[in-house]
Amino acid sequence: MYLSDRGFEVAVADNFVRRLYDAELGVESLVPIATLHQRVRTWKNVTGREIGLFVGDLRDPEFVYRIIGEFRPQAVVHFAEQRSAPYSMIDRAHAVYTQVNNVVGTLNVIYAIAELDPDIHLVKLGSMGEYGTPNIDIEEGFIEIEHRGRKDVLPFPKQPGSFYHLSKVHDSHNIHFACKNFGLRSTDLNQGVVYGVETEQSVRHPDLATRLDYDAVFGTVLNRFCIQAVLGHPITVYGHGTQIRGFLDIRDTVRCIELAIANPPARGEYRVFNQFTEEFSINQLAELVSRTWPGPSTVEYVDNPRTEALSHYYHARHTKLVELGLVPHKLSETLIQSLFQVIERHRDRVNWEAIRPTVNWRRTRNPRASGAGFLEKV
Ligand code: USQ
């Protein structure tokens, strides 16, 4: 919607599997969302602009070749991945599903671009979590290393913390190689944790709303904390809350994609942008939410279900998007208050059982899962 609003001719491809994960986990987006067909119709009614619609699965190469062959895009914005770390850690089937879906889908996109039009710019959603939490500053994709008297600029070491984040590392390597090998051009957007739900476009009609996840599998931390505060549920800080991550407002996500498209890399170039605007510890977020919520709120320190560093150094560079013109929306009490308002409108839709974390990284089988192999067959 954002790109369409900015004058780009846009088509969207979807296999609706995100809705299937909800059915599997027994949850729904807190904000009701219309079908994609309805959204596209409403967008046309509201703005007069068409968005093309392709229904299919990126794991199906014929589908991928068809979209790119028929639509002939200038850029492919590839967000079509299973994006939850806890989902990938439920059990073997979910780890396999996540990596096959993400890595095979991306390989099909790479090949379709290489064969049909290698000039197309692949804008790929990566993750800040690919880097993990090293005890040195994180660079934007590459680091200059001096080793035994020789120097080189090498990919920044990757130490991700889930099979989901690992799938993004595998994608990064595959895309980097494809740029060198086939002369493709690509931008890997290593995005931090997103918060917020409304954009300038999504508020124009209720049918245009995007999803807001509160559950422990798909909900991201700040959105979850806001929802927990409104419901009167304890704010679930994992571990000591001293983990630090990079965050960004949903409105900056869409702007960053536009900036990447407007400034494409040269043929053969693989570049990485660290796409976040501010760093916070989990405790800072819990405090901000508690302070902003006008009613009572409690913070509960939950045994950390994940394998992640508790206290650690964290400082990541993120200058490239700012150099291209990003003016970040900083996290503020006003944004939190507007999120509270959206949540209060839909608070009755919450399934309370889905709020507490049930997926433990150290177990090889976890509850909230479908029958083993369900997704591999989908
Ligand atoms: N956390 C809590 N309490 C909660 C939920 C999370 O303390 O109730 C903590 C986690 O332990 C973790 C941090 O918050 O340290 C972030 O967790 P998250 O679930 O908000 O985000 P994450 O699993 O890292 O994944 C999300 C998106 C993913 C994206 C990633 C960016 O789901 O698609 O790649 O953010 S990043 O974290 O920079 O890798």
CB within 8 A of 323, min separation 6: which ones? none
Angle among Cα 359, 362, 363 to the nearest 5 degrees reads 65
Q: What spacing in Å lies between the alpha carbon of 315 and ligand 1's midpoint?
A: 17
CB within 8 A of 179, min separation 6: which ones? 185, 186, 268, 269, 270
Residue 103 CA: distances (Å) to CA of 17, 288, 337: 16, 37, 38
Total domain count, the chain: 1
Tens digits of pLDDT across the chain (378 residues): 999 999 999 999 999 999 999 999 999 999 999 999 999 999 999 999 999 999 999 999 999 999 999 999 999 999 999 999 999 999 999 999 999 999 999 999 999 999 999 999 999 999 999 999 999 999 999 999 999 999 999 999 999 999 999 999 999 999 999 999 999 999 999 999 999 999 999 999 999 999 999 999 999 999 999 999 999 999 999 999 999 999 999 999 999 999 999 999 999 999 999 999 999 999 999 999 999 999 999 999 999 999 999 999 999 999 999 999 999 999 999 999 999 999 999 999 999 999 999 999 999 999 865 654 566 665
Atom index in ligand 1 nearest the CA of residue 130 equals 39
**Could you give the CA distance from residue 112 to residue 53 in angstroms, rounded to a whole number?**
18
Pocket probe mutation, ligand 1, options 138, 172, 221, 304, max atoms within 8 Å of Cβ: 221
Atom index in ligand 1 nearest the CA of residue 85 equals 23
Residues with CB under 6 A from ligand 1: 83-85, 127-129, 191-193, 220-221, 224, 236-238, 243, 245-246, 282, 306, 308
| 8-state DSSP, 352 | G
| 8-state DSSP, 268 | T
- Cβ(228)–Cβ(357) under 8 Å? no
Residue 62 domain boundaries: 2-377
Q: What spacing in Å lies between the alpha carbon of 309 and ligand 1's midpoint?
A: 13
Q: What spacing in Å lies between the alpha carbon of 173 and ligand 1's midpoint?
A: 23
Residue owning the nearest CA to atom 10 of ligand 1: 238
Phi, psi of 181 (to 5 degrees): -80, -45
Residue owning the nearest CA to atom 32 of ligand 1: 84
Q: What spacing in Å lies between the alpha carbon of 193 and ligand 1's midpoint?
A: 6
Angle among Cα 3, 195, 311 to the nearest 5 degrees reads 135
Residue owning the nearest CA to atom 21 of ligand 1: 220
- Domain containing residue 101: CATH number: 3.40.50.720
Ranges of H-type helices in 72-187:
85-88, 92-99, 105-116, 163-182
Atom index in ligand 1 nearest the CA of residue 220 equals 20
Residue owning the nearest CA to atom 13 of ligand 1: 221
Q: What spacing in Å lies between the alpha carbon of 194 and ligand 1's midpoint?
A: 9
